[in-house]
Amino acid sequence: MSTFRFALAQHDFPVGATADNAQRVRALAAEARDRLGASLIAFPELTISGYPPEDLLQRPSFLEACGRELAALAPDLTGIAAIVGYPDTRGEVFNAASLIREGKVEWTYHKQALPNYTVFDEKRYFRAGEETHVFTIEGVRVGMLVCEDIWEAEPAAHAAQAGAELILVINASPYDQRQAATREELLRRRATENGVAIAYVNLVGGQDDLLFDGHSLLVQPDGTIAARAPFFEDLLLGVEYDSSTKQLTPIDWPAADTRSAHEVMYAGIVRGIRDYVGKNHFGGVLLGLSGGIDSALTLALAVDALGKDKVTAVMMPTQFTSDLSLREAKAQAEHLGVEYHVLPIEGIYEAFTGALAPVFAGRAPDITEENLQSRARGVLLMAMSNKTGRLLLSTGNKSEMAVGYATLYGDMCGAYAPLKDVYKTVVFALSRWRAGVDGAIPMAVIERPPSAELRHEQKDEDSLPPYDELDAILEHFIEGEASAEDIIAAGHDDATVRRVIRMVFINEFKRRQAAPGPRVTTKAFGRERRYPITSGWR
């Protein structure tokens, strides 16, 4: 009979911070040994470099630094073995996991399955490993896998055939709204196919447009989930494996997450803002607060991420700004306790149109004048960003980014776009939930009809289909890759479908210039959906 105790480090390992990441390995290994009595600790995929390091992997000096940090860990980790991920360079580069035990790097495993789809480009950087690896610790035979390895059947099967009774998978698996369910189903399948227990440890944190959710898992050989760690929290998790019963037992895990899917998405976006601002060393954020729902939700998210003292909201009214907008923007800013300014832009707008009058003589006002208002706001917000060192959040949502309903160099100004991958209908759902917690978003803002207030009595629905309909069409087209005919066959109006699809195609140029924002759906704009700007295909 043999039981052994190990630890899973569900933690953030920021990209490129090689020395800090190695220090975090030392600290967590000591804590796992002393507090949890663990004889092994496993860290997430590419621990030292962070994930994904992208083209840093093409710099020899970066690869050397990763190798150096890994080697320097060996003498420091005493009384506990550690599995640490890093890019291993041997002529070619491998996505590797090494076991450090008793002062030396005992072996190194190379990831066999390299993902090269959706947000992953691993074949651009890595050569695939070809060997199964099973090792013994405290009398238990453990199979070593790295992330995508478990998404294919063979690596786990080969480890089981080589005698593994427990499989340890270290991961950097990004969040999307369906991912947790997909992973669980997959892990159950691998456990039952091979009659092995599986311990799955995942990275946490925001990295540019990716969110890593943690949500580490323990799976019994019969496919039962023995434990689920909460989403988006840094945790050191203890585990006991009993080889006489082949069961895993969580030691001291926090209660399982009971949050709804929308609450988890909200928590992910909060984490994304906090990590983007913190890891890029900004003192805070600012945003234009219009009295509409997108900026109201963005403000609530920013305050939840950073605290009220690090957030500035600016109302910039014109003659088209309604009393409701002025009242509710002020009410929300006061309720949340953020720094709040009112900067009218009427004078700036008149100066612009006055300067342009000689060139525009004889031309009727049109969208040009609407865009000037949006751009005047962008100029003021960027000036405030320059002066205060606060980063500008842009407030556009996925529905708007899809159809180009935003002004280039206007409301598209900004460094990070928290709602970039959130459809407008989901903006409503998240806002209703958040308003219900403590009134962080005024109900009057949620219930009013969406309007850009760039001319009198303007409503979004004058120029766009109702958001329920728009989002349903967009989801078929973007996430589902459906054709116009498929979407029409699903019950949508022919002319509307064709108009929406046309808008998505012709607005690629705007999306290429848009700020990054956290990915929450199964197909986000950006690295995951790369369309040509110049294209004859409609």
Ligand X SMILES: NC(=O)CC[C@H](N)C(=O)O
Residues of this chain that interact with ligand X (CB under 6 A) are 45, 115, 120, 147-148, 151, 172-174
Q: Count CA atoms within 13 Å of residue 264 on its CB side.
A: 23
The residue (of 168 and 412) whose beta carbon lies closer to ligand X is 168
356 is in an annotated binding site: no
Q: Is 400 annotated as a binding residue?
A: yes
Task: Residue 367: name its binding partner from ligand DND, ligand X, ligand ATP, none (Cβ under 5 to 8 Å by kind).
Answer: ligand DND
Say if residue 325 carries a ligand binding annotation. no
By CB under 6 A, name the one of 107, 117, 509, 531 that touches ligand DND.
509
CB 396 within 8 A of CB 418: no
d(Cα 465, Cα 449) in Å, to the nearest integer?
13
The listed partner (ligand ATP, ligand DND, ligand X, none) that binds 404, CB under 5 to 8 Å by sort, is: ligand DND
- Report the Cα 40 to chain-centroid distance in Å: 29
* 473 marked as part of a ligand binding site: no
Catalytic site residue 54? Answer: no
Binding positions for ligand ATP, rule: CB under 6 A: 287-290, 292-295, 314-317, 321, 377, 395, 400, 411, 450, 452-453
State in angstroms the smallest separation of the CB of 451 from ligand DND. Answer: 7
Q: With the C-alpha atoms ordered 460, 461, 464, 466, is the resulting torsion angle positive or negative?
A: positive
Select which of 66, 69, 122, 147 is catalytic: 147
Q: What is the DSSP letter of 454?
A: S
Residue 430, both tokens: 């998240």
Considering just the CA atoms, what is the radius of gyration of the chain in Å?
26
Q: Does the annotation list 291 as a binding residue?
A: yes
Q: Name the binder of 289 from ligand X, ligand DND, ligand ATP, none, CB < 5-8 A by kind.
A: ligand ATP
CA-based end-to-end distance of the chain: 66
- Residues touching ligand DND: how many (CB under 6 A)? 17
CA trace torsion 14, 100, 5, 140 (10° rounding): 130
Binders in 387-406 for ligand DND, by CB under 6 A: 400, 404-406
Among ligand X, ligand ATP, ligand DND, none, partner that 428 touches (CB below 5 to 8 angstroms by kind): none
Q: DSSP for 63-113, please give it.
A: HHHHHHHHHHHGGG--SSEEEEEEEEEESEEEEEEEEEETTEEEEEEE-S-
228 binds, among ligand ATP, ligand DND, ligand X, none (CB under 5 to 8 A by kind): none
Partner residues linked to 255 by β-bridges: none
- State the nearest-atom distance from the C-beta of 367 to ligand ATP, in Å: 12
> Which partner, ligand ATP, ligand DND, ligand X, none, binds residue 224 by CB below 5 to 8 Å per kind?
none
Q: H helices within 92-206, ranges in order? A: 122-125, 153-161, 179-194
State the nearest-atom distance from the C-beta of 51 to ligand X, in Å: 6
407 is in the binding site of which of ligand ATP, ligand DND, ligand X, none (Cβ under 5 to 8 A by kind)?
A: ligand DND
Answer yes or no whether residue 30 interacts with ligand DND by CB under 6 A.
Answer: no
Q: Least distance to ligand X from the beta carbon of 310, Å?
A: 32
Query: Is 242 labelled a binding residue?
Result: no
CA distance 157 to 461: 54
- The site map against ligand DND for 104-143 (x = CB under 6 A) is ----------------------------------------
Instruction: Express the helix, strand and coil content of the chain in percent, nearest 5 each.
Output: 40, 20, 35
Nearest to 482 by CA among 491, 470, 494, 473: 473
Name the closest residue to ligand ATP (Cβ): 292
Establish whether 66 is a catalytic residue.
no
In what helix (H) or strand (E) does residue 341 lie, and over which residues does it extend? Answer: strand 339-342
Task: Report whether 292 belongs to an annotated binding site.
Answer: yes
Angle at 177 between CA 7 and CA 399, to 5 degrees: 145
CA–CA separation, 188 and 384 (whole Å): 52
Q: Is 395 annotated as a binding residue?
A: yes
Smallest separation (angstroms) from ligand DND to the CB of 458: 8
Cα–Cα distance, 474 to 350 (Å, whole number): 37
**Which one, 290 or 521, has the nearer CB to ligand ATP?**
290
Q: How many residues does the chain have?
A: 538
427 touching ligand DND, by CB under 6 A: no
Task: Tell me the C-alpha distance between 221 and 186, whole Å.
Answer: 13
Catalytic residue numbers, as ranges: 45, 111, 147
Residues that bind ligand DND in the complex, under the rule CB under 6 A: 367, 370-371, 374, 400, 404-408, 410-411, 452, 460, 463, 509, 533
Q: Which residues are annotated as a binding site?
A: 117, 173, 288-295, 371, 395, 400, 510
Q: Which residues are annotated as a binding site for ATP?
A: 288-295, 395
Q: Which residues are annotated as a binding site for deamido-NAD(+)?
A: 371, 400, 510
